[in-house]
Amino acid sequence: MVKVVQLSPADMNVPSFERLLRAASGSAKDERVREELRALTVVGVVDGELVGFAGFGDTGGYTVLRYIAVAEHHRGRGHGATLVDALQQRSAGHGLRAETDDDAVGF
């Protein structure tokens, strides 16, 4: 069964999250990214194992999606859409925006 759960700091120190972080940011060891994630709410999609995550925060009346990644071997199964749907539900009434930068990988 696929579910979306809030990730704890411990959840973000496992190999499956590090692979996803590498897909989202280009580096699993980038301390700047890890520091930013500590200030965001991070949710993961679980399909027997952690297969995707999204990092977001509330800014200026909007929920802002900053990071999203789905494991390559789980892409095309709707997990990214599941994450975005969960964020839309959490942001009901004040909108959802996605932000990226020049360092975005495959976005």
| Tens digit of each residue's pLDDT (9 = 90 or more) over 17-37 | 988 988 887 776 778 888 889
The pLDDT tens digits of the residues spanning 37-46 come to 989 999 999 9
Query: What does pTM read for this prediction?
Result: 0.86
Residue 90 — very low, low, confident or very high, per pLDDT cuts 50/70/90?
confident
Q: How far apart are CA 107 and CA 96, in angstroms?
A: 17
CA dihedral 87, 29, 50, 74 (to 10 degrees): 90
pLDDT at 107: 46
Look up tokens 């004040």; give the residue. Answer: 94
pLDDT at 51: 94
Q: How far apart are CA 35 and CA 101, in angstroms?
A: 17
